[in-house]
Amino acid sequence: MLARQQQVLGWFSVLWIFIFAFVTLPDRNSVICARRHLPLHGDDMFRKSQHAAECQFGKQLRELGSSWFADLGPPFGVMYCIKCECLPYQKKRRVVGKVHCRNIKNECPKPSCDEPVLAPGRCCKVCPGDLDSPDIVDDPTTVVSGDDEKNTKHFAALLTNRNQMDSSDMMMLSATGNFKQYVATGRFMFHKRNLYYSFYTSNAVRPRGLQFVDLKGNILEEQVLAAGSVYQNKTGKICGVWRRIPREYRRLIRDEKLLVVLLWDKAELTITGQLYRYRSLTTELFSVLLEGSNQLAGLGPPQGGTALVSVSTTAPSLHLTIIFTGLFGGDEIQGGKEGTVSVKLASLDGKTIVIDETLKLDKPSADLNTIEVRSAVSHQDLHLLSHLQLQLLITNSKQPHLVVGGSVLPRTTCEIYVANIVAHSTDAVASPNTAVSGLSWVFVNKEGALDYHVLLEGGDPDMKLSLVVDRRHQDIASLTPTLSKDGWANGTSSVLGLRNLDHLYSGELAWQVVGGGGGGGGRLSGRPLADARDASAPSLLLRTSNSTSWQSADKSTGMVWAAVDVECNLHYELTLAGLSPTPDHPLQLYLEEVPFIAPGAPVSHRLLQEFSTSNVEDFILGLTPQELMRLDSGVVYFEVKDAKSGESVMRGQWKEVTIPTSCLPLYTENQLPTLNDEAGISRDTGCFHGDRFHEEGAQWMSQVDRCVMCTCHSNRVTCDAVQCPTLTCDKPVTRPEACCAVCDNNAVETNATIGQCQLAGQSYRPGATWHPYIPPNGFDTCTTCSCNATSLKVSCHRTVCPQLHCEERIAVRHPGACCRVCPLGSATSTLDPGWMGEQATGPRSKSDILAAGGCNYPIGGPFENGEQWHPRVYSQGEVKWVKCHCKDGKVRCERSRGKHM
């Protein structure tokens, strides 16, 4: 009982140390969350910052304004009296998250009843039914209002150089040729607390940073834009996402009080725009980026614009929502005069005029102006539109030199359309071995054509693949000619007609697979592009189990998107088809890492998530450089298992593993990283050398040179050439394939057939002598072992050191020597027989002295290892009452007692 009480008191001591660290120390009360970011170089706007919109507490991300109880893990668990909050913290222009934890025990109100109770998960005793207590946390991540999800879903922004600098700065830069006006158009979709963004820019150089800013200029979120992906390069767009937006910032989006900034390398090259809501964003099929006529000259006020193009195909007509700036001068704005603009939509060659209208604006603005144009058109006009053969020009009717224009483009939104392809139920049951399955993804490229990628497994060799309208099974395009023997169909189809483009954006297109042995299909559904879905390709998961608990697994497929971002976090998304996990029967997603395909290769398994829906999207925060290196240099698999039985249900290889260089560690060729001990990870480590893995602590003979010994220590391979002992015989003999000579050749030949001596897993011939190999230090040249030719027993003997004739405290050991010796210069100095010191041929060089443990010294140096001297000072000469001593490369000086300078 006493031991148990002492153990409990020990745990409480550790607990109060933790509470003291969070509550009583001023510099520990607040912990600024640390997230790994690539720096934005340049002036203050480009400096590296903490992640603005959230806090990191351990391995968890917390939203600004949220509160929680500290979780210490076992054996303490959640501490309901330690309340933590993620508070905004002003750091110059940036608003960053800051964790603040405190002990709320003393804040508990006095209960008004006679018998208060302490409910589970509470810190304060309260009366039954009393909910007003400080031990209740507010977690806004669990509440997303209907307004956020419905009414404020789509936004657009026009970004220009306006308000970035005054007119004098513009004129000065224009005169030097260093200032050019750029413009960008952005689209934003708010979905499940995430803001997905997409941009077209007039600058051919990709921006390297993005910021979301409030109207006061405070930076709320800052992101580094990595190099363009396959999708972004093929579409010419800039894509990304601001995840887990705090509740307060969601209000800014809803109230149209949020700015977005794109940043390039040069500090003066930034463009800014404000997010606004437009009704036509939900029906937009095409976009237009409008550039000003003075764009290249860098003269006059910033000009630019964007247009949202909607189409009706039943009664052919166009609806244009046009946002522009820079077309009205000071007289029109300050004088309150109406403005007049000409809107012209024509073919690129100018031969066909689709729209030519003049519109009046009662109160033109120096900032943004919005106009809407509706016009009936012909089918030929729609044909030109779908093939991106139209351009839009907006001109000031009173000042024709003020004009903005641009060509029609695919709509700005970054989106990809994916589908799991599964066999029809009857085909899967009748012939499960030949049932078709697969995955696919498509998108509209910058030319307006459909870029498609389809992978089919199983099925009939003569199967046919086509794209159809799902509800009517109307064929749109046959992709059978591009279907290769390995099951891939990659290519670009002809430009989709407007009706079919609308079907694609509405999620009404599907794949149809037909073959002699059956068929299958899958409907394409749109997803915003960011993080995992911005990878070059997904991975296909196929059935691995005939478990009776998952009978539908016979016709199921899985598709996994995975990617590592510039902050070294792993993002993944799993979509299942044909499987329906439930809370009562969940599944688990595992990541399996095989560093090399070699005998004995260590394999690690990480549990990513347990789930009960057919679509899973999440991320892993803070992977170590060593873990990321394993992903980068190994073979990676995804596996879905039954959470109850642990049986494998689906499995597939992650073939497109790309890790940012900044996330990888610096490592040597033979170094194998270890994994951190974290929950959900089973790991094994070792060293890779030659063509196989070796366990920790093992030693072996190199396959390249048998006279080299290697060992595995701390997951690193160390190899040393065999050190041969000195022989006392006159005529040593070296046997073929032996590393060291022996004295008695007859004994070797006579007893070779008897057997060999064994030491540390290595074999030695009878009569052989050697220095033992002792990891991790290598060969011990101060010990000699021999193999008895008769008994085949190994005997080892250490070198016998001579007696010292000086004080042991001043004796030194030279590098590579077996014995300590007296310092040189003393009357009784002794040379170590295992080390060659200064020879009679002359004094040694400075480098030799230092290499042997000597010391460098400003005056009179260098000194030999073990040498003593009185230091010299220029103004004093030799200081007799101070004695310096060199030992193993370090100088130590002592003053004699009672002596003063």
pTM recorded for the entire structure: 0.67
Interatomic CA distance for residues 255 and 257, integer angstroms = 6
Higher pLDDT, 145 or 570: 570
Residues 495-521: what's their mean pLDDT? 87
pLDDT at 131: 61
Residues 6+ apart with CB under 8 A from 36: 567, 568, 622
409 Rama sector, left if φ>0, alpha if ψ -120 to 50, beta otherwise: beta
**Least trusted range by pLDDT, from 77-91, 170-184, 478-492, 821-835:** 821-835
Beta-carbon contacts of 602 under 8 Å, excluding residues fewer than 6 positions away, are 595, 672, 683, 684, 685, 686, 693
Q: How far is CA 313 from the centre of its chain?
A: 44
CA neighbor of 537 nearest in space, from 572, 564, 569, 561? 561
CB-CB neighbours of 167 under 10 Å = 9
- The 3-state DSSP class for residue 695 equals coil
pLDDT at 199 over 90: yes
Q: How are beta strands 868-869 and 783-787 bridged, if at all?
A: unpaired
- CATH, range 151-166+179-277: 2.60.40
H helices of 425-578, in order, are 425-430, 498-505
Q: Which pLDDT does position 453 carry in this prediction?
A: 94
Q: Is there a contact between 854 and 886 (Cβ–Cβ < 8 Å)? A: yes
Q: What is the pLDDT of residue 46?
A: 37
Residues of the chain with CATH 2.60.40.150: 278-412
For the segment 657-704, what is each residue's pLDDT rounded down to a tens digit?
888 887 877 644 344 444 333 334 444 456 767 667 777 777 888 777
> What's 535-664's CATH class?
mainly beta
Which has the minimum average pLDDT: 185-189, 692-696, 871-875? 871-875
What's the rounded Cα separation, in Å, for the pair 722 and 707? 5
CA distance 94 to 212: 10
| The pLDDT of residue 225 is above 70 | yes
Q: Mean pLDDT, to the nearest integer, of 455-476?
A: 83
Domain 414-529 is found in CATH 2.60.40: yes
Residue 34: beta bridge partners?
none
User: Into which CATH architecture does domain 278-412 fall?
Assistant: Sandwich (2.60)
Distance CA 866, CA 808 (A): 11
pLDDT of 188 > 50? The answer is yes
d(CA 452, CA 395): 39
Q: pLDDT band for position 37 (50/70/90)?
A: very low
How many other β-carbons are positioned within 10 Å of the β-carbon of residue 347? Answer: 16
Which tokens go with 75? 């054996």
Q: Which residue has the tokens 């949202």?
A: 308
Q: What is the full DSSP assignment across 396-428?
A: ESS-TT-EEEEEEEE-S--EEEEEEEEE-HHHH
For 353-408, how does the pLDDT look when each residue is reduced to its tens digit (9 = 90+)?
999 999 998 888 888 999 999 999 999 999 999 999 999 999 988 888 889 999 99
Residue 579 structure tokens: 């499987």
**Beta strands in 766-860, from DSSP E residues, in sequence order:** 769-770, 773-774, 778-779, 783-787, 794-798
Residue 242 has pLDDT above 80, yes or no: yes
Enumerate residues 6+ apart whose C-beta is below 8 A from 572.
532, 560, 561, 562, 589, 608, 616, 617, 618, 619, 620
Out of 178-187, 419-428, 523-532, 608-617, which region has the weakest mean confidence (pLDDT)?
419-428
| Per-residue model confidence (pLDDT) at position 330 | 65
Express each pLDDT in 293-333 by its tens digit: 765 444 567 889 999 999 998 889 999 999 999 888 766 66
Please report which residue ranges of 720-797 form alpha helices under DSSP H: 745-751
Under a CB-based contact definition with an 8 Å cutoff, are residues 569 and 619 in contact?
yes
Identify the residue with better confidence: 427 or 622. 622
